[in-house]
Amino acid sequence: MAAATGVHRRHWSGWRIGGSSHFVPLKVMHTSGGCAARSLSPGLSPAKRAPLVFLFLLLIDGALLAASATTDTILPGEGISGNETLVSKTGSFELGFFSPGPGIHYFLGVRLRNMGHSPTFWLGNRVVITDLPGASLEIFGGSLYIKQNGASLWWTPSPGGNVSSAAVAVLLDNGNLVVRDQRNSSLVLWQSFDYPGDALLPGARLGLDKDTGKNVSLTFKSFSHNGSLSVDVTRRNGFVLTTDGHANLGTFPDWMVSSQDNGSSLRLSHREGPNSTEFLQFHLGQVSLMRYSEPDPDANGTGGWAARWSFPPDCKSGGFFCGDFGACTSSGKCGCVDGFTPSFPIEWGLGYFVTGCSRSVPLSCESDGQTEHGDTFAPLDKLQGLPYNAQGEMAGTDEVCRAACRSKCYCIAYSYGHGCKLWYHKLYNLSLASRPPYSKIYLRLGTKLRNKNGLQTRGIALLVTGLICFASLILIISVLLWRFRRNSFAARKFEVEGPLVAYTYAQIKKATMNFSDKIGQGGFGSVFRGTLPGSTDIAVKNLKVLGEAEKQFRTEVQTVGAIQHNKLVRLLGFCVKGDRRLLVYEYMPNGSLDTHLFPEKSGPLSWNVRYQIALGIAKGLAYLHEECKDCIIHCDIKPENILLDAEFCPKIADFGMAKLLGREFNSALTTMRGTMGYLAPEWLSGLPITKKADVYSFGIVLFEIISGRRSTKMMQFGSHRYFPLYAAAQGRLLVHPGSGGR
């Protein structure tokens, strides 16, 4: 299908040559001996320069092929399936089957392209896809069909007439998926803008479309709540926000609205910049205008998604912002009243307070049907007015009013001041006042039924106290035994790790002169220079804490400790003492590659050295991928993890994120690991990770070796560029001007 439709396939199987269908795997034969480059002279013979140029052309050709193999149209009788995507003409949006997160089913949707965490602006009727390879989107007779293993799960209405056979599906540059006549593009038969879900892109209409009769509104549905956002035809730029049946009226500011059709509908203003995009989002009782700006390196990397406007901005604006039994504090934050906790703690923690609060202890009448005893009424004072949903009751005193509420199990609060008022079932729109006048209500709370037998109650209390004391004693003894045995147990676990030396902490402390010569700092700890007896220079990595650092320690010992190669940094030994984890490596005098590729003071590397460094890295990867007993995926190839010896021979280091896979590849990586800017597309798309992920990272490093510039800082006319596409378009400008190459 890819050959017919030209859709973009997100598969990385190697590098394509000349547009042919054959893939060339990147594999470098290992040669014995040391580094071939012993001279730092800038000259390089044509015979040695040819392989480097060949690798460079392969990377450019692969990037050009990926850029050209895209289309925005599905022709009659065709479609997309699996990982294929439909891409708008300018490359801003893509349509495909996406997953909201690991382990979650797939949905057909439209989202921003080339963004790792893009929102989904449209979902195909929220149809759940459980088998991605068997999923497809096709067009027949003017209707779109979502299919799974040949069975239709959802389809758009048939337009009928002669135009049906000539209808095509097109993803426009504004994110709108349309079905239109192939011969007359102005004849639109169906569009996703009429079914926006919970997001509205600029140019989309909200409200009644008089041409189609379609009344467009935003909707939100979850397992706990649902709501809608619709146009209020009685007010200019007005809208009605409804959450769980509670309505809240609001008004869009004039700068957000580009046009309004006599109050029946309106369109958002298109205010996108060259490095930003906007959309309207409705989620859990709040509507927000979200803007994405690309990170600005001149502003400490600030950027990403941010709300430019929200309604309601906080709980002081009224409405159903804090949900049932939630109260708005004087600072504009929501909180649960006494005796209640958040109904959905995760959503509450994310700031979606409309989910409200639930009782910590149920009412007695709800459990045993008794209304005369068991429940109490606690005062809730310093309120700013009374809640709205009150019911009047004839009562002459406070006691009579309280008794009237107690007699009804569904009565949850009462107030007696200006007459008797009762509240049934739910309590919302509570707001705490910062200054007088104050209002007060009495909230009904459940209490545990008292045991009538006092001796029995006392006996139970003594028994519980004794059990707690005994359990505490056992816990203290267990902790002491665990701490006593931990050091020796941890050390014994690593005594069998092949030829590695188990150093004592005192030996390493002496070799590093009490860790006085710090030569590096990483995400998991610091690196110190030292000298072993016999004048052997070493580098000691002191891991900071347990947790992730413990995983890195075990991975390095089990991976690097079992292999030996002249293009891999050699692990000499380790140390385990209490919470301390230390790794001892051979010392590399010239440090990491990044300090020479992107120097602040020293001159650039010659072409001869660059070539030998690139070749050495490739040899190291070829050994890890092809020559070891198990295929080892490094997962974090970048200049910082390439160390250089005294003769500028490269060695791959830092195997803390490495993964061993059997030759049958019967398992796949699922947890993202690596460094942004060097991650292969498989990491972001949820595809299985193989050794090709390392090849992609090496390709980015190869670009940096050639250009002498960071891939993540490539800029042109103030906008970020994807490094492979920049290299494809500006290949000659990519070469570092001071490297001696032409």
* Cα–Cα distance measured from residue 72 to residue 85, given in angstroms and rounded to the nearest whole number: 9
Instruction: State the pLDDT at residue 4.
Output: 38
Q: What is the DSSP letter of 471?
A: H
Asked whether 571 and 610 are in contact (CB, 8 A), the reply is no
Mark which of 379, 411, 446 sits at the end of a domain: 446
51 upstream amide cis, omega within 30 of 0 = no
Asked whether 686 and 100 are in contact (CB, 8 A), the reply is no
Binding-site members for ATP are 541
Looking at the chain, the whole-number percentage of residues with pLDDT higher than 70 is 69
Q: Is position 209 annotated as part of the catalytic site?
A: no
Q: Does 427 lie in the same domain as 558? A: no
Is the pLDDT at 666 greater than 50, yes or no? Answer: no
Instruction: State the pLDDT at residue 520.
Output: 82
Q: Any idea what the Cα angle at residue 417 is, between residues 414 and 419, rounded to 5°?
A: 80
Q: Does 131 lie in the same domain as 275? A: yes
Asked whether 111 and 121 are in contact (CB, 8 A), the reply is yes
Q: How far is CA 741 from the centre of its chain?
A: 41
Q: Does 288 lie in the same domain as 355? A: no
pLDDT interval class at 67 (50, 70, 90): very low
Asked whether 233 and 263 are in contact (CB, 8 A), the reply is yes
Nearest to 696 by CA among 648, 643, 627, 634: 634
pLDDT interval class at 534 (50, 70, 90): confident
Is 384 inside a domain boundary? yes
Q: How many CA atoms lie within 13 A of 221 on its CB side?
A: 6
Tokens at residue 182, please?
């192939």
* Cα–Cα distance measured from residue 482 to residue 146, given in angstroms and rounded to the nearest whole number: 57
* Cα–Cα distance measured from residue 683 to residue 374, given in angstroms and rounded to the nearest whole number: 57
Instruction: State the pLDDT at residue 644.
Output: 92
* Of 302 and 449, more confident: 302
* Of 638 and 284, more confident: 638
Number of domains forming the structure of the chain: 3
Is the pLDDT at 30 greater than 70, yes or no? Answer: no
Q: What is the DSSP code string of 299-358?
A: GTTEEEEEEEEEESSSGGG-SSTT-TTEEE-TTS-EEEPTTEEESSHHHHHTT-GGG-EE
* Cα–Cα distance measured from residue 378 to residue 362, given in angstroms and rounded to the nearest whole number: 15
Asked whether 727 and 62 are in contact (CB, 8 A), the reply is no
Is 212 inside a domain boundary? yes
Is 377 inside a domain boundary? yes
Q: Does 78 lie in the same domain as 118? A: yes
- The stretch 475-482 carries a mean pLDDT of 80
Q: Could you give the 3-state DSSP secondary structure of residue 365?
A: helix
* Cα–Cα distance measured from residue 92 to residue 87, given in angstroms and rounded to the nearest whole number: 8
Q: Does 359 lie in the same domain as 287? A: no
Instruction: State the pLDDT at residue 413.
Output: 93
Q: Does 170 lie in the same domain as 254? A: yes
Is 115 inside a domain boundary? yes
Instruction: State the pLDDT at residue 642.
Output: 93
Quick: pLDDT tens for 320-367.
Answer: 778 888 888 877 788 898 889 988 887 777 677 877 898 888 887 755
* Cα–Cα distance measured from residue 567 to residue 645, given in angstroms and rounded to the nearest whole number: 10
- The stretch 279-296 carries a mean pLDDT of 73
Q: Does 307 lie in the same domain as 423? A: no
Is 286 inside a domain boundary? yes
Tokens at residue 263, please?
């109050």
* Cα–Cα distance measured from residue 307 to residue 303, given in angstroms and rounded to the nearest whole number: 12
Strand partners, 357: 342
Instruction: State the pLDDT at residue 453.
Output: 38
Is the pLDDT at 620 greater than 90, yes or no? Answer: yes
* Cα–Cα distance measured from residue 359 to residue 365, given in angstroms and rounded to the nearest whole number: 14
pLDDT interval class at 263 (50, 70, 90): low
Is the pLDDT at 606 greater than 50, yes or no? Answer: yes
Least confident of 376-390, 402-416, 714-728: 714-728
What CATH number does the domain containing 556 carry? 3.30.200.20
Is 338 inside a domain boundary? yes
Asked whether 200 and 239 are in contact (CB, 8 A), the reply is no
Binding-site members are 541
Q: Which residues contact 263 (CB under 8 A, 6 or more apart)?
A: 231, 233, 234, 235, 236, 238
Mark which of 586, 602, 617 sits at the end of a domain: 586
pLDDT interval class at 414 (50, 70, 90): very high
Query: At CB < 8 A and 24+ separation, what contacts does 340-343 make?
Result: 343/224
Q: Where are the beta strands (DSSP E) in 14-53?
A: 15-16, 23-24
Instruction: State the pLDDT at residue 679.
Output: 82
Mark which of 586, 621, 637 sits at the end of a domain: 586
pLDDT interval class at 418 (50, 70, 90): confident
Which of 244, 636, 654, 694 does the annotation list as catalytic?
Answer: 636
Q: What is the DSSP code string of 686-734?
A: TPPP-THHHHHHHHHHHHHHHH-S-GGG-EETTEE--HHHHHHHSHHHH
Q: Does 109 lie in the same domain as 175? A: yes
What CATH number does the domain containing 241 carry? 2.90.10.10
Q: Does 77 lie in the same domain as 217? A: yes
Q: Could you give the 3-state DSSP secondary structure of residue 474?
A: helix
The identity of residue 550, as a single letter, is: E
Backbone torsion region of residue 584, taken as left when φ is above 0, otherwise alpha when ψ lies between -120 and 50, otherwise beta:
beta
Q: Does 346 lie in the same domain as 291? A: no
437 upstream amide cis, omega within 30 of 0 = yes
Q: Does 235 lie in the same domain as 208? A: yes
Residue 547 belongs to what domain range? 501-586
* Cα–Cα distance measured from residue 457 to residue 304, given in angstroms and rounded to the nearest whole number: 59
Is the pLDDT at 169 greater than 90, yes or no? Answer: yes
Quick: pLDDT tens for 216-246.
Answer: 887 766 555 666 767 766 677 778 777 766 7
Quick: pLDDT tens for 554-593.
Answer: 777 877 777 888 899 988 888 888 778 889 999 999 988 9
Quick: pLDDT tens for 104-116.
Answer: 688 888 988 877 6
Distances in whole angstroms, Cα of residue 108 to Cα of each of 86, 90, 129, 147, 278 = 11, 21, 8, 11, 21
Is 20 inside a domain boundary? no
